[in-house]
Chain A
């Protein structure tokens, strides 16, 4: 592992052309191997911040470094993989070929690609589906393909933008556990955007709470739940304490929560 933080954000702000200030004065460091969640009310700029880390959007001010290099360089070096809320699979490619797409761009040989795809299919438990097309898969399976694709070139950093937001509760909880297993197996750093408080607490080592527009960091909650997390973790008193703490930070940051007084 490098001596640099996985992500270093210094004084980042973002104004869109329409005059909307999405983010202001963001300072944040994510250490290697950390699982950080960004949580906040809709419109707080958490997805924008994730895209700035990925150099998919330019910040209006401030510096972003990934693995000790400018975000732009890091993108060109394939330092991160990204997963969106929708799987964004390429319909004309089979499961295998979707997973192998980044490897094609990296000019891996056919044999190396095939071996890596087999490994990843095992990791996301999709053996037997390699020749299926995306339309033949359920939403949860599609998202697992998207995760395998993001992990294919073994990036040090995984950026995830509400990856389970469109899934039903049961699928979501199962994929939460799978993601933790993958995180453990791959040794990567994860920055995870969500609007679900229990999900953020369950998955993360650290929850970054953001305030409503313009987005600022309203507080950081360290999640000291024991590893590895299991289905039982959600039933521990400490889990509920931390959920409450994150919720209170959200309210203090100006989020209007239903039933919050």
Chain B
């Protein structure tokens, strides 16, 4: 990275960083000034101290829950991609099933969390993975299928002119063309998977899980721990999203719609 680029990055991020620092400072100042009770809202410094004191148990809980989220993400997104490929290859199937997928996308799937706990067992991490997987499935399916089927018809026509077969059209045109759409779905899914795992744990799970840690801390009025857990859950969610966004950057750098302006 050149010095000029580093400088530009710093300038680009400076406003957001400033807002963050000011926000934390305002939080600290207001809580102190109005003497807000800790059970309502602890000071950031208190949350930070708790975070540090409880770092070992919090970290283990975070990793445990993140593994559930990751498993659900992989399961739900993987299945969604396979189904999208099948629907794109056999259009009548897609036409028959897609209205239900779109409708299901609008259902508050999280409501099924207690049922999943019932099906797979409260302490079995698979019950949380199942919730995360169902949450991830629909946005990835809808986006990927849109990507696979909304290819420029002339791009397909050109492949016909080369006498290319169906498999070749999929491998060389439809699949690469769908990548930007696929990643749009995966980014939504990365956030949903963390939500699914945590909320699933609110309905019961092992005490080693982050959701259960937050729930118990609130129940026993240990609010700084609850807040520290929330901060950690947010950090995992943001990092996961960032990782997917990075993968997108690396694999779709060719996408013209990601460019602000064209080169020379």
Contact = CB atoms under 8 A, between A and B. Distances in A.
Given A90-B155, A135-B254, A56 B259 contact: no
B2 interface: no
A134 interface: yes
Contacts of B163: 75-78, 105
B262 A56 contact: no
Contact of B168 (A56, A84, A105): A105
Nearest to A106: B162
A56 B164 contact: no
A82 interface: yes
A16 interface: no
Interface string B157-172: 1101111100010001
Contact of A91 (B158, B162, B172, B254): B254
Nearest to A94: B254
Contacts of B53: none
How large, as a class, is the contact surface on chain B?
20 to 34
B2 to A, nearest CB: 19
A56 B155 CA distance: 12
A136 B263 contact: yes
Contacts of A101: 162, 172
B161 A82 contact: yes
Contacts of B173: 90
Interface in B175-193: 176-177, 179
Given A133-B254, A135-B259, A88 B158 contact: yes
B176 A90 contact: yes
Nearest to B264: A136
A227 B192 CA distance: 67
B152 interface: yes
B168 A91 contact: no
B108 interface: no
Nearest to A80: B161
B9 interface: no
A54 B254 contact: no
Contacts of A90: 155, 172-173, 176-177
Given A84-B154, A88-B154, A136-B263, A78 B256 contact: no
A56 B173 CA distance: 18
Contact of A105 (B162, B252, B255, B259): B162
Given A84-B154, A101-B172, A135-B262, A91 B255 contact: yes
A56 B254 contact: no
B256 A92 contact: no
- Among B157, B161, B168, B263, chain A packs the most CB atoms within 10 A around the CB of B161
A143 B251 CA distance: 25
Nearest to A76: B163
Given A76-B163, A135-B259, A92 B254 contact: yes
Interface in A83-136: 84, 86, 88, 90-93, 101-102, 104-105, 133-136
Contacts of A54: 161
Given A56-B157, A136-B263, A92 B164 contact: no
Given A84-B154, A135-B262, A136-B262, A91 B256 contact: yes
A51 B161 CA distance: 9
A157 to B, nearest CB: 11
Contacts of A86: 154
Interface of A: 51, 54, 56, 75-78, 80-82, 84, 86, 88, 90-93, 101-102, 104-105, 133-136
23 contacts: A54-B161, A56-B160, A75-B161, A76-B163, A81-B161, A84-B154, A84-B157, A84-B158, A88-B152, A88-B158, A90-B177, A91-B177, A91-B254, A92-B177, A92-B179, A104-B172, A105-B162, A105-B168, A133-B253, A133-B254, A135-B259, A136-B262, A136-B263
Given A78-B162, A135-B259, A136-B262, 13 more contacts: A80-B161, A84-B158, A86-B154, A88-B152, A88-B154, A90-B172, A90-B177, A92-B254, A101-B172, A105-B164, A105-B168, A135-B254, A136-B263
